């Protein structure tokens, strides 16, 4: 199954008072953790949506394509759209990965892709207990809906409209679903074991 992993890394980190993706978590920049994890997944087409030249260079050194987003100030939807449009025409699904989710594992990414393989047409969402998070995989059936997003909304607004299409993948460690939106979140990540 041809899946495109789309790493969203073009945000402004407004609640973080600056660029959060270069913040260190356990001694390594958050974005580097995500890029390296995605690069370690075999046979996946991967791209990162970012305007950061350093992130572009690091991604490309790992075999991940970089796509710019001149409209990033208009919200997350613009990065989602850029990622979908930059995906291969024969892509059967889009796996959206947050650039600020440093503990996501390649094992979880592979399990999400496997779930999509066995349940084509379903939106695959990871969860731990009651907590859901990213990365979320949308089959290509939802391409037009993804392209119609606007403002600071992402895929969550789509899968909430299609609960009948959701399949959950249980994640062993809730820490994999943690992301960083505030300085307090960084402190939580630092206190959290990998």
Predicted confidence at residue 185, as pLDDT, reads 64
Sole residue written with tokens 């990213």:
134
pLDDT of 155? 85
**In 10 A of CB 31, how many CB atoms?**
25
- The β-bridge relationship of strands 123-128 and 93-98 is unpaired
Tens digit of pLDDT for each residue in 39-53? 999 989 999 999 999
Cα separation of 18 and 124, whole Å?
A: 31
> What pLDDT, on the 0 to 100 scale, is given for residue 15?
46
Ramachandran quadrant class, 18 (left: phi over 0; alpha: psi -120 to 50; beta: rest):
left
Regions of the chain where pLDDT drops below 70: 1, 12-18, 182-186, 188, 190, 192-194
């Amino acid at each position: 199954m041809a899946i495109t992993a789309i790493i969203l890394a073009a945000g402004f980190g407004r609640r973080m008072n600056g660029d959060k993706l270069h913040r260190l978590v356990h001694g390594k920049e958050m974005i580097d953790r995500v890029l390296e994890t995605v690069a370690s997944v075999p046979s996946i087409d991967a791209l990162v949506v970012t305007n950061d030249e350093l992130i572009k260079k690091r991604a490309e050194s790992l075999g991940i394509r970089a796509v710019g987003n001149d409209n990033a100030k208009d919200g997350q939807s613009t990065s989602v759209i850029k990622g979908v449009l930059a995906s291969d025409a024969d892509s059967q699904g889009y796996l959206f990965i947050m650039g600020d989710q440093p503990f996501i594992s390649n094992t979880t990414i592979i399990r999400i892709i496997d779930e999509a393989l066995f349940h084509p047409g379903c939106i695959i969402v990871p969860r731990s207990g009651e907590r859901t998070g990213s990365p979320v995989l949308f089959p290509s059936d939802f391409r037009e809906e993804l392209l119609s997003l606007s403002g600071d909304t992402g895929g969550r607004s789509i899968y909430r409209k299609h609960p009948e299409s959701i399949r959950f993948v249980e994640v062993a460690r809730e820490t994999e679903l943690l992301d960083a939106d505030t300085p307090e979140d960084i402190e939580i990540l630092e206190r959290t074991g990998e």
